[in-house]
Amino acid sequence: MTAPLTTRARAKINLSLRILGRRADGYHELESLVAFAGVGDTLTLDPGEALSLTLSGPRSAGLAPDDGNLVLRAARALADAVPGLLTGSFHLVKRLPLASGIGGGSADAAAALRLLARLNGLASSAPELSRAAASVGADVPVCLESRARVMAGIGERLGPALRLPPLFAVLVNPGVPVETAAVFRALGLAPGQALPARGKAEVQPAGQGDSPAELISSLSRSGNDLEPPALQVAPMLSSLLSRLAALSGCRLARMSGSGATCFALFDDCRQSAAAAKLLSDERPDWWVKPTMLR
């Protein structure tokens, strides 16, 4: 009898995000420096004959263990590619907010693929894994290894893994739903429309060998192109970003992905922990987590 397998599904943070244009098929081309947080969900696989999913955790309300769940979709995509794939019963402890711009569902799907690869003796570089990941969602491929890197295209082009200096951060989600499709509608690009060339991204080398201060300085010259349209969809994010920027020691405040999660970067863990406690006391209804991004 095979023992249950467990892995973390860590939050994905878009440190920078540029929209390059919209393809004729409607998908948006992007370039983003991605890092991963120390907070996330937990996924366990109990090997068995029937594929299933159960849920628990403080953020599981509103999430259904049905065919639309990304964990099950990822498992079925890999089963289609690998005849005789061994599966079993998944259990997801959900701690990350839903639809929040930090790739929670994508990280869960990638975690399912990692567990199935371990169970079936598949190498992490197996092409079936990357193809299954890409078929489930644009953020799933970068979450497979959950290592800092530049992602491009519609998420399918990944640069080499990067060694970023540790970034001390506070993640904040105000509980306001921000639909990704609504943000892209507000961006307003027509199919086939490209944005004017703006040169290479400031952080394309992604801070290899930089100190935390140097990386933060580099990031300050970049941005998140989805932030302005997200502020149209959810204007309260403007006040959230202003509050983060005003925190003592905050070096950079920015939205991740299409929102609504935002982050603030600090020079050390003491500052980030103090800022998180202050925000939690001010707004106990917000999801506030101090963490390290790498």
Catalytic (active-site) positions = 12, 139
User: Within its chain, how far is the Cα of 55 from the centroid?
Assistant: 20
Instruction: Please choose, from the candidates 99, 137, 141, the residue with its C-alpha nearest in 3D space to the C-alpha of residue 259.
Output: 99
Rg, C-alpha atoms of the chain: 19
Instruction: Please choose, from the candidates 27, 37, 103, the residue with its C-alpha nearest in 3D space to the C-alpha of residue 70.
Output: 103
Please list, in sequence order, all residues whose beta carbon lies within 8 angstroms of the beta carbon of residue 169, skipping any fewer than 6 positions away. 13, 37, 263, 264, 265, 266, 272, 290, 291, 292, 293
Q: 95 is written with which tokens?
A: 């701690």
Could you say which DSSP state residue 192 is in? Answer: T
Q: Is residue 153 left, alpha or beta, with left meaning phi > 0 and alpha meaning psi from -120 to 50?
A: left
For the chain, count helices (H), then strands (E).
9, 10
Instruction: Please choose, from the candidates 36, 158, 180, the residue with its C-alpha nearest in 3D space to the C-alpha of residue 96.
Output: 36
Coil vs helix vs strand at 226:
coil
Apex 31 CA angle, 164 and 181, nearest 5: 120
